[in-house]
Amino acid sequence: MSSTPYSPLDGISHPYYPPDATVPFYTANTTPLLTILLSFAGLISLFVLICLTLSRYANPKLQQSDLAVIAWFAVCGFLHLFFEGYFVLNHKTIPSSQYLFAQLWKEYGLSDSRYLTADPFMVWIETLTVLIWGPLSLLTIYLITTNQHALRHITQVVVCIGHLYGVALYYGTCHYIEKYRGLQYSRPEWVYYWGYYAGMNAPWAVVPVLLLWGSVKAIKRAFRAVQEDDIAKKGL
């Protein structure tokens, strides 16, 4: 790939949609896509492995279902704090940067150019994600590991609702702008819209629902046990 800087001031194009989007000083990625993806997958896997190892060391009695939830929140914590955190801190320089996370954002930007144009909505929603959902994801891991079930389900419910709300805003704003303003932020190729934009965000529309359902059942069981205990005490 060429590393020639692009600038709309020079009339040089970029690969993002809409074609007239302002992406100052864009520089194409210099690292092969497969290398970028494998490096990113390796970092995520290492972080998840560290979280699982520490959790199992601290609590060897953790069930497989708990470990699966820990792995999920480890992925969330890594993405929110490090990957999205990088975007929040460096959104103005990403188009011209060749750091790993910058190249990843430039690749993902093919499905949503708002990440390359420092869109105020994206910067703000990602800032909230970094400051709130990232720390709460790691806190949930700690609460699961230490068997603090009551607090665990509180934070789990809060984070899951936050994820669902964020996904609704993310998909909703894009749909609204495309339908009512005629702007399209994703390139037309199938891989970018359905693979990147729809597919990569879909887990945060599915997994939180499953975890919410599990928390609701756990809370229901807890209240039922309290009620039964109260009834038993009154019977005495």
Digit-coded pLDDT (tens) for 93-138: 999 999 999 999 999 999 999 999 989 999 999 999 999 999 999 9
The DSSP code for 130 is I
Integer-rounded Cα radius of gyration of the chain: 21
For residue 37, what are its two tokens? 């993806």
Digit-coded pLDDT (tens) for 153-184: 999 999 999 999 999 999 998 888 888 888 88
Residue 33 CB coordination number (10 Å): 12
Q: Which residues are registered as beta bridge partners of 5?
A: 27
**pTM value?**
0.88
Q: State the Cα angle at 78 between 119 and 92, rounded to 5°.
A: 25
Helix (H, G, I), strand (E, B) or coil at 5: strand
Contact 26, 96 (CB under 8 A): yes
Report the alpha-carbon distance of residue 115 to residue 109 in Å, rounded: 6
How many CA atoms are closer than 13 Å to the CA of 151, on its beta-carbon side? Answer: 12
pLDDT at 236: 57
Q: Which residues touch 11 (CB under 8 Å, ≥6 apart)?
A: none
Q: Which residues are registered as beta bridge partners of 27?
A: 5
Whether the pLDDT of residue 226 is over 90: the answer is no
Q: Which residues touch 55 (CB under 8 Å, ≥6 apart)?
A: 62, 67, 70, 141, 144, 145
